[in-house]
Structures are given as structure tokens and as C-alpha cells.
Amino acid sequence: MQCMVAYMVGKHIGTDLKMNSLKSMIACDNINLKSRLLSSSFFNPIYITLANARLLASHTDRFFPMRVPAIEPPNGKNTPHSTPQKVIHLSLTLILLTLIPLCLMNRSPTPVQSPKIHTGGSTSLAIKKKCDMFSGRWVPYPNGPYYTNATCREIIPQQNCIKFGRPDTEFLKWRWKPDGCELPRFDPVQFLELVRGKSIGFVGDSVGRNQMQSLLCLLANVTYPVDISYKYTSDTNFRRWFYTDYKFTLATFWSPFLVKAKDADPKGHSFNNLMNLHLDTVDEAWAAQIENFDYVIISAGAMESLPDSFRTLQNLKNYKGLTFLRTFSPAHFENGAWNEGGNCVRTRPFTKQEMKLDDYNLEFYLTQVEELRAAEREGRKRGLEFRLLDVTEAMVLRPDGHPNHYGHSPHKNVTIADCVHWCTPGPIDTWNEFLLQMLKMEGERSFDGTLQQKAG
């Protein structure tokens, strides 16, 4: 049985395939399967979901060619890869590749209530009151952000919205209000004390790196770290900082797919060619460096890579860390798709009555939760813990928080808006408020466990 599917998007890379021509590219020996492939659920004009890709993968001979446009090249270099058992060909991107399914999402928001999904784990805050801090709403907060582009030198240009002329600042004057309790403000001293002598590694896509840079800025109100990256690697996509006074290490490992990826062009990275993704082989570049970290935060734009990533952590002999899965944050392209002039010009949050996850993004979210739960069950066999850092409900309501066209100099010839990443400062700082509370709860669990052992 053999089925071959080609999916290409956008004139941006010189391809202008309509749905009829896309369907004509399917060659399938199984008539029933071909009928399923041609159904509307598989051939949405905007995307083919990764869940459907899983079904396709089970019937393919070798690979799916897929193209997405490149916006910005990665800073690192490719590493050698072996021949995979399953290969997906994708063209590489920086801003959009890291969240491929999100970049190919809805052209405009869907005005219905956001679903409330209980995912367990975080059920209480420091106020000792049961509360799901991930479910709530955005409320006005006139005091503004924790930092600015003038007080934090770690903001990269792509998220430095105020520096590059964003005219409104109202997007900085909102706070997340959980239903039934208050989310404490970020306390950098408390955070640094909690991680004293420990290490945190952010692994995955550039939105995860976005969160790490937010954390650097939040902690900069107390102290700046020393960049020690050179001691470990020359790859600029892998960075480490050391907070001397707290003996705390913060690191980021940029691996947008978490699995091995290799440019199809043997000469290296070009902006519109194909990438080989080895879905059954984790990217050893990050896996080899993460074993001794106390906390690992996984950020993945492709749910297909999660099982192997979790399995890799579970199989690391010396890994005893706590793993967080940061759920995805939706893109907010309106007035067109990302490659058709789409943008994100809103200046205030949605309410729950105005926005929900569409079917595809809800499926993606639920799959992430399912994979995390499966990892929890397996992890217990080795005494490993997994937690859900659930930012999805909060961020689906923040169409105003993206750089749009303010992630670069206005003189640069950049036509594609960034409605995937987040301005810093901005709503992404809330993710680290969540993280702080989760670390506090881990400390409480550890303390309670110690008391129980002594009582026993």
C-alpha cells in the first residue's frame, strides 16, 4: 500500500497550488483511504492537521513533501543525521516554522467562548485556596509592565515592539485574573531563592525561547547573569547563563521540532528548500546536554515529536529533573493568512465570549495534554515528575500581544507580520508568573513529603 501526499502553501515560495491540483497529486493504491484523504476534514484550504498526518504516515511509503515560507534563518548550524525510518520534508522557517500548525491556522478569530479544560496538577496557589490559575480572564492593570526595553538589555529585536515604534501601550496594562483567586505578581527575589543552586533549561521552539528571554528580563530587576555559553558550545542556538550570587543556571536549547532535522540541500540552509524531519529520532544536540538539569521546560510546535522527547528524558540514566510541558499559544492572524497579508492589529484582549480555540487547535491542545498524561504514567516507574504549564486559555485571548510589524526596523523590507511570537514586555510575562507559582507548589509538595516521611 502506498500513498503520496504533497502539500505546498503560498506564492511566497513560488508555489500556487489550488485545492484541485493538490488533490490530483495524491496517488493511492487504497481507494477507501484515498476517499478519506479527499474529504473536507483532510483538505482544509489552510492546513492538513498533524493528527491527519499521523493517519497518512501510517500508509505512506516514505515521506510527505510540505513547504512553508522562511522568515528568518536560525543562528545555528546543522548537525549530521542518519537515514530515518520516517521522514517528513518541510521547508525551514524561524518565526513560523517553530509553530507550523499554528501558522497555518484560522484566517480570523472565531467569536465563541473559549473551552475550559481541567488538566489537573495546579490546584492551589500560595493563598492555600483551591484554584485553577490557568482558567480566568484578563483584567485592566494600570501599573504597566515589570520592565521596559530601556531597563532590560536582553530583549531581542524581533520582540522589541516598543523600540520599533509600536504606537499603543495599552497591551501592557492587563493582568491575568484566575477564576476564584489572585495570581501573585512575579517576585524575582523569591524566584531566585527557589532555584538557588539549581538549573532550568528551555528546550524547543522559538516561542519557548521567547519565554526564556522574558524570564531574563524579569530577573534583571535583581541581577544580571554571566553568559557562560562558550564553555559548552559554539552553537549560538544553545545558550547558558549563570547567576553567580544564586549559583543558578538558565539555558535555552533551540530545537524547533525536538527531533533531528536536516536541510535537504547538502550545501546547508536556504530559505525555501525542504527539511528532512526524523520523527523517530530525537535531536541529540539538546538531549545530550539536558541530563543534569533540575527543571526542563519543553516547548513544541509539533505534537508528533512529544512522545520521543518525553521518552528520551525518561531514558536518560542520570536525569532526575522535573519536566514541564508548556502548552501551545495560538497565533492570531486576521485579514488574511500569514502569507496573504494577514496581521494582528488589535489593541486589547478578547473576552471569553469573543474567542475560542477552533477545532484544529483544540485537538492540538488536547493531544498535548494526552501526551503529558502518558509521560506522567511512564515517568512514575522511574520516579520522574511531569507538569503541564498551561498557557493556552490565557493566550488565545491576547491577539494584541504580538509584534505584528514592530519586530524590526520600519526601514527593513519585511512584509510578513509576526502574529506568533510575543512582545517583551507583554502577556508572555504571565507565563513566568505561572512558572513561579508552580515552582512554589513543588517546594510545598517536597516539604509535605518530608513531613510525611518523618511522621511515618
Catalytic residue among 263, 283, 390, 418: 418
Q: Is 206 a catalytic residue?
A: yes
Q: What is the DSSP letter of 81?
A: -
d(CA 113, CA 357): 8
Q: Is 421 a catalytic residue?
A: yes
Catalytic residue among 199, 206, 214, 255: 206
Active-site positions? 206, 418, 421
